Amino acid sequence: MTSGLTTRKPLTSKALDALKEGQKLTDWGFDPDGELRGSLKGSLTARRRKGRKTVEFYLRMRAGGKDRIHKIGDYAPGAGGIGLAEARRIGLEVAKKYAIEGDTFKDQRVADALAAAEAKRTEEAVAEAAKADARGDGSLGALLLAYVSDLHSRGKVSADDTEKMLRRHVEAKHPKLWGKPARKVTREDLHVVLADMLDAGIGRRVNLMRSVISSAFQYGLTLADDSQHHQLAKVFQITANPAITIKRRGDLEKKGQRVLTTVEVGQYLNALDAHASGVMQTFLIAQIGLAGQRIEQLLRVKWTDYCDGVLTLVDAKGRGTSRLHLVPVPEWVDDVLKPLRALNSEYIFSTGVKPLHADSVTHAVQRICKAMNGEPFKAADIRRTCETQLAVLRVSKDVRTELLSHGRNSLIDGRYDHHQYLDEKREALKKWEVALKQWKGRSKQHSQHALGSPG
């Protein structure tokens, strides 16, 4: 059987057990009584994705000219999963409910998936905390790594990059300081680390390093108040934060102000067609098509995060625990994403096991910008441009805030407003789609006229 292709074999337990990575089977006997007829058609599919040990059941429905995909569960009869008969029963029930309730049922499925994801994150956070407890040895290095584990447990997308920075600039360059008891580390010790970074010509990372180390010590200070980690507090015995009095270097900060004009946005979209390809091209189109979602968050999404036309991103920016950010995917963006399914990767934007790296996106945008031969811009400027142009299109500030997942301004907004603005986001993205097509078309016409004009 060819990898990634649907085979017309009866779905049996034996066939499911023999299913290999990258393969899927369709249950052609899923609807024996023909209950799904007319405008609603459904099929049950079993799939073993690459890198996954379990087989997953999906319900694929065709309604109103659109495909809807719902995950039914994992195939693991008697081991916390479901069997083939149970998958058929649940699948048929889901299809019938969707036929009756339509988008209302779809939104409820999204809400259920949201709750399940939050429960899973809580479970993972407990496991990560336990690892941090076991690893603590009282040294500065152990404290910094315990803090990194805490970032991971809260779903912070910066966790991996933070660890790399700490190992490169503290562990490798200052091994004695890395092994020094954290409670004995002084302000002068940290100044040496920051000064070395300045001397190495990487001043733009100095403020970030200062902030990370300060946050790690604040984490150590709060361990005694955390019943789950109080034993770790005894290991580190942190009583002060030596980094808190080190001033932030304002002269090293360079905030971006660049906003692309509508003409430049049109040129950028056409440049994506001409100077980008493959998964990277798809990512860049999807990012601007979804109104400039954060690059790191969008890169980390998996196919399991894409359900019922809604993409679930993990927003871990800022303090506190991360929250889930729902982004409805317009049909034209979905069409752009579809070819990537054939790659059978766990992540949507991936050419193998891992997702694309943010640095690769940065470099790709730099190449495209150079090819445009205009005023320079960076990958980070795309998000700022999207929000600015959405405001010009008269998308309200509240909707822009929700669509782009900006920070909440109050306790009430942050903790009690669980309305996900899905309908408002869809309307905003419709306006955005129309605008993008207009800008792209005008840019293409302008280029054609320029080529056809006499010299």
Three-class HEC string of the chain: CCCCCEECCCCCHHHHHCCCCCEEEEECCCCCCCCCCCCEEEEEEEEECCCCCCEEEEEEEEECCEEEEEEEEEECCCCCCECHHHHHHHHHHHHHHHHHHCHHHHHHHHHHHHHHHHHHHHHHHHHHHHHHHHHCCCEHHHHHHHHHHHHHHCCCCCHHHHHHHHHHHHHCCCHHHHHCEHHHCCHHHHHHHHHHHHHCCCHHHHHHHHHHHHHHHHHHHHHHHCCCCHHHHHHHCCCCCCCCCCCCCHHHCCCCCCCCCHHHHHHHHHHHHHHCCHHHHHHHHHHHHCCCCCHHHHHCCEHHHEECCEEEEEECCCCCCCEEEEEECCHHHHHHHHHHHHHCCCECCECCCCECCHHHHHHHHHHHHHHHCCCCCCHHHHHHHHHHHHHHCCCCHHHHHHHCCCCCCCHHHHHCCCCCCHHHHHHHHHHHHHHHHHHHHHHHHHHHHHHHCCC
Using pLDDT thresholds of 50, 70 and 90, give the confidence band for residue 104.
low
Q: For position 416, what pLDDT does the model report?
A: 34
Q: Mean pLDDT throughout 164-193?
A: 93
Domain boundary residue, one of 57, 84, 101: 101
pLDDT of 31 > 80? The answer is no
Same domain, 184 and 333: no
Q: Is residue 401 part of a domain?
A: yes
pLDDT of 410 > 70? The answer is no
Q: Is residue 299 part of a domain?
A: yes
Q: Is residue 108 part of a domain?
A: no
Same domain, 33 and 83: yes
Using pLDDT thresholds of 50, 70 and 90, give the confidence band for residue 417.
very low
Q: Mean pLDDT throughout 447-455?
A: 53
CATH number at residue 188: 1.10.150.130
Q: Mean pLDDT throughout 254-258?
A: 71
pLDDT of 418 > 70? The answer is no
Q: Is residue 113 part of a domain?
A: no
Same domain, 268 and 239: no
Same domain, 445 and 300: yes
Q: Is residue 409 part of a domain?
A: yes
pLDDT in tens, 207-217: 899 999 999 99
Same domain, 242 and 284: no
Higher pLDDT, 42 or 273: 273
Same domain, 206 and 327: no
Q: For position 455, what pLDDT does the model report?
A: 44
Higher pLDDT, 446 or 286: 286
Using pLDDT thresholds of 50, 70 and 90, give the confidence band for residue 121.
low
Domain boundary residue, one of 66, 101, 136: 101
pLDDT in tens, 358-380: 888 999 999 999 999 989 999 98
User: What percent of the chain is predicted at pLDDT more than 90?
Assistant: 37
Same domain, 167 and 298: no
Q: Mean pLDDT throughout 289-306?
A: 93
User: What is the C-alpha separation between 361 and 380, in angstroms, rounded?
Assistant: 10
Q: Mean pLDDT throughout 221-243?
A: 78
Q: For position 40, what pLDDT does the model report?
A: 52
Higher pLDDT, 5 or 294: 294
pLDDT of 39 > 50? The answer is no
CA atoms within 13 A on the CB side of 444: 12
Q: Is residue 114 part of a domain?
A: no
**Is 0.75 surpassed by the pTM of this model?**
no
Same domain, 275 and 218: no
Question: Which range is least confidently modeled, 45-49, 69-73, 140-144, 417-421?
Answer: 417-421
CA atoms within 13 A on the CB side of 414: 12
pLDDT of 117 > 70? The answer is no
Using pLDDT thresholds of 50, 70 and 90, give the confidence band for residue 413.
very low
Residues ≥6 apart with Cβ < 8 Å to 198: 206
Residues spanned by the domain of 59: 6-101
Domain boundary residue, one of 252, 286, 308: 252
Same domain, 430 and 317: yes
Same domain, 236 and 269: no
Q: Is residue 119 part of a domain?
A: no
Q: For position 95, what pLDDT does the model report?
A: 75
CB 274 within 8 A of CB 308: no
Same domain, 317 and 406: yes
Give me the sheet containing 55-63, strands edge to edge.
Answer: 6-7, 23-27, 40-48, 55-63, 66-75
Question: Which range is least confidently modeled, 6-10, 72-76, 279-283?
Answer: 6-10
Mean pLDDT for the chain overall: 80
Question: Best-predicted range by mean pLDDT among 87-91, 201-205, 359-363?
Answer: 359-363
Q: For position 122, what pLDDT does the model report?
A: 47
Same domain, 266 and 244: no
Q: Which residue has the tokens 């994150």?
A: 121
Q: Is residue 431 part of a domain?
A: yes
CATH number at residue 26: 3.30.160
Q: Domain count of the chain?
A: 3
CATH number at residue 381: 1.10.443.10
pLDDT of 253 > 90? The answer is no
pLDDT of 265 > 90? The answer is yes
